[in-house]
Structure 1
């Protein structure tokens, strides 16, 4: 567990180096990389009900690979549009 006195920029640098993230780190990653704001409890709920990003278990700890978070976030964001009249 990281100390509470680590600055936000240092925390983001630590997250950037990790291949898999815990739920709270995954939420920070989604916010900084994609602008998606999710609480760790929301990711926990999605893990039980379905519809969330893929994860792996290390004992009882869910770890989210960054590639899985990237894929999931891009699905949530949808395609780029240049007009409100664009159709899917």
Structure 2
């Protein structure tokens, strides 16, 4: 399912216009992105948690030459599914 199909499905289920659903989805992604950029965690009980995982600087190898190189520290967004969502998926 792509974004367009998701918007259509939510609009049909909630009896709201596609335009309004699209605005809400855009706002949702902006708020989640802004909060994660600040290092905050977003918990949606029953659905899941959005948070930032930090990776320390580490050594790696260039697969082509075998040369040892340093991989810089980084942050990565992470989603952990909640119990209710896991239960639905595993039915």
What's the TM-score once normalised by structure 1's chain length? 0.26
Structure having greater relative contact order (Cα 8 Å, sep ≥ 6): 1
* Bigger strand share: 2
Q: Which has the larger radius of gyration?
A: 2
What's the TM-score once normalised by structure 2's chain length? 0.25
